[in-house]
Amino acid sequence: MTDVLPTMTDIEEASGRLRDWLIATPVLESDILNQRAGTRVLVKAESLQYGGAFKIRGALNRLLQLSHTERSAGVVAFSSGNHGQGVALAAKWLGVQATIVMPRDAPKIKQFNTRTLGAEVVLYDRYRDDREHIAAQIAAERGSAVVPAFDHPDIIAGQGTVGLELGRYAQAKGLKLDAFYAPCGGGGLIAGSGLSISALFPECRINAVEPAGYDETRRSLTADSRQGVHGHPATICDALMAPTPGAITFAINRQILSAGITVTDAQAGHAMAFAARYLRLVLEPSGGVALAAVLNGSAAEHDCVGLVLSGGNVDTNIFMDVLADHPDP
């Protein structure tokens, strides 16, 4: 399937397909952030998207292209939470039954929101069970279509609309992006948005940001082949715990990525606290890793950079603990 790679044309078509359904999320600036980062930073606030994350873009782009017969049989997805919510929301809008396979330890707010949207939630043990196998079994029994979390051209094209909107905003302001930063788990967001940004700004450096212990894209770039996670490292970045990069996403990312950047849980928490105080945004840990990289000095050599705050679905107790741990971000 890696020979079917999405293109800029696919992303532009996805943008047109999604335009009347989704929010063109704001691009924010902060003088304090610019000072801390040592450069001008354009912040794409996908935490304000429907479902609280960018994932609805790829999910809806995929579901809109299913036939009536496919929709009538329902859809199945496997997700740590945000993709599941995106599929559940898209399915609700289109009148499709959705079943979401989620890890038992997924944040309670993600499980609650997915069920509230009308989806059936099937829980599994992320350390013992194979979520793709569970989803495939359910799909086979019901004749349902599987909606992958990242490794599908339609999903990647939908996520690419994030970068397309950010890039067009920069162009409208007469700005040239020197670097772009986005969170990376399976690689769908950085692959799609990296394609968009690269098309609009060919010299822009595209950077994938991952949590420590789950830096499989960074290691895959070094090895020039897909690498998996070693063991089960602990991290607060629950949405970025993909076991290996996708086949399609890595086929794109090995061509467009300039670097893989790793951040610690403490740096992700600091970014969450910074966003709450200075941007007035609630972020989940995974949603703040690109901001963490920029706050850690990775963008200081550039004149203007863009980054994505990818999601804000965080349990209240975790959010309050992070704020308490970082009282002066």
Chain position carrying tokens 């070094």: 222
Mean pLDDT rounded to a whole number for the chain: 96
> What pLDDT digit, counting tens, does each position of 83-133 carry?
999 999 999 999 999 999 999 998 999 999 999 999 999 999 988 999 999
The yes or no reply on domain 56-146 and CATH 3.40.50.1100 is: yes
**Residue 81, both tokens:** 């939470």
Q: What pLDDT does 182 receive? A: 98
pLDDT band at 4 (very low <50, low <70, confident <90, very high): confident
**Residue 329, both tokens:** 């971000």
**Residue 153, both tokens:** 């051209």
* Multiple choice CATH, 8-55+152-325, 3.40.50.300, 3.10.310.10, 3.40.50.10190, 3.40.50.1100: 3.40.50.1100
Dihedral sign for Cα 309, 205, 27, 169, please: negative
Global pTM reads 0.96
Residues 6+ apart with CB under 8 A from 305: 37, 39, 40, 41, 42, 177, 178, 179, 180, 181, 294, 299
Q: What pLDDT does 3 receive? A: 61
The residues spanned by each domain of the chain are 8-55+152-325, 56-146
Same CATH topology for 8-55+152-325 and 56-146: the answer is yes
> What pLDDT digit, counting tens, does each position of 147-157 carry?
999 999 999 99
